[in-house]
Amino acid sequence: MSRAKEIVAAFVVLLVLVLPRTARAERDLIVPFHEGGRLVLDQLAGVRASAASGLSYAGPIGVAFQTTSAGDAQAKTTRLWLAPSADVFVTEHLSLGGIVDVSYAFGSTKASGQEVSLPGTTSITVVPRVGFYVPLGDRFGVWPRLGVGYARVEGASVQAGAPVRETFQSLLLEGDLSLVYRFDETFFLRAGPSISVSVGGRREVEGGVAGVDGSVLAVTGAMAFGVNLDP
């Protein structure tokens, strides 16, 4: 089974586990999603899709294994991450929150029978955000959010037969627009696009190589389960 099919299968299992909660006749939900004081954890488990990385798992904690090949060269990478994401409705409709994403990656490359271990890399992204929830009845709603934060992304490659670490730092602008469906007062599913733009990015290569300024635009789509709590 391919990696993408495994991710979809896991997501379907989660969906099957949640849907029985709504197998009974639907009732009107008493507590609004956007009631002041509610705590929302919006990414307990889900999937993310982009042109750059394809389909991948999205969650607050995880590990991913990736193997890429080009000709006789092959690269294997293992990535571990911790990415809590939360929002609080400070008043009705208005939410404040953010995401902190910390990851560590390591791996190796093999070409012409020679294997080279890549240096471990650590990346961190911190994005505070503000949102405004618009209900479309008691079960559906639209939730746009905008954030400004910081990203420091490390990567590793092999140049002239030697491993090299690269670092990219930038101001990060992020926005997403989610359609929310509530299974009940606690559990929900959200889906929609997101856009992130790095501003004033600076790329540096280990070993004294001069840095290069640059910006990156990324468009992704996501679908994830979440919970809406009354702390």
The answer to whether residue 142 scores a pLDDT higher than 90 is yes
Q: Do the strands 217-229 and 94-111 form a parallel or antiparallel pair, or are they unpaired?
A: unpaired
pLDDT band at 13 (very low <50, low <70, confident <90, very high): very low
Q: pLDDT exceeding 90 applies to what percent of the chain?
A: 47
Distance CA 138, CA 95 (A): 18
- Among 170, 178, 177, 175, CA closest to 147: 175
As a whole number, mean pLDDT of residues 197-219 equals 74
Distance CA 224, CA 56 (A): 12
More confident residue, 144 or 164: 144
**Is domain 3-24+35-229 annotated with CATH 2.40.160.20?**
yes
The answer to whether residue 102 scores a pLDDT higher than 70 is yes
- Structure tokens that stand for 187 in this block: 């559990």
Q: Strand ranges (DSSP E) for the chain?
A: 39-50, 54-58, 61-70, 73-82, 85-89, 94-111, 114-132, 134-136, 140-159, 162-182, 187-205, 209-214, 217-229
As a whole number, mean pLDDT of residues 200-226 equals 78
| DSSP-assigned letter for residue 8 | H
The answer to whether residue 147 scores a pLDDT higher than 90 is yes
The whole model's pTM is what?
0.80
